[in-house]
Amino acid sequence: MLQERWYDPFNRWRQTPMSVDRATVHRIAHLARIAITEGEAARLEKELSGILDWVAQLDEIDTANVEPMTRVVAMTMTRRKDEVTDGNCADDILKNAPQVDDHYFVVPKIVE
């Protein structure tokens, strides 16, 4: 049976039993908008209780000395200099323009 931990005002952690019953399964199915039969509800009741038991086992593991990680293999990002450039391809881009004047695009006037 799953143990739920909660904090009481006397600065202690307490463990209370928690189980998934048929009503909870139907409530979850209703919230997820999934139609289930009574047979499926019985199967899901056992599966959800098993999942919560597994999570309770994970909660018992002491992870105080384990550093958080973002990936399994440590890697560093390659970095480049933070320099502002024009991309060194302005001439290539201007080749596609219908009209160019002094290295600028020429566009029709929109605002009168």
pLDDT at 77: 83
Give me the number of domains the chain comprises.
Answer: 1
Higher pLDDT among residues 3 and 26, named by residue: 26
Q: Model confidence over 28-53: pLDDT tens digits?
A: 999 999 999 999 999 999 999 888 88
Cβ-Cβ contacts under 8 Å for 15 (sequence gap 6 or more): 3, 4, 5
Please check whether residue 78 lies inside any domain of the structure: no
pLDDT at 60: 82
Please check whether residue 68 lies inside any domain of the structure: no
Please check whether residue 67 lies inside any domain of the structure: no
**pLDDT confidence band for 15 (50 / 70 / 90):** low
Please check whether residue 43 lies inside any domain of the structure: yes
Higher pLDDT among residues 112 and 92, named by residue: 92
**pLDDT confidence band for 68 (50 / 70 / 90):** confident
Please check whether residue 69 lies inside any domain of the structure: no
Please check whether residue 12 lies inside any domain of the structure: yes
Whole-number mean pLDDT of the chain?
82
Question: Residue 77 to residues 43, 73, 74, 80, 87: CA-CA distances in angstroms?
Answer: 46, 13, 10, 10, 22
Query: Which structural domain range is residue 8 located in?
Result: 2-59
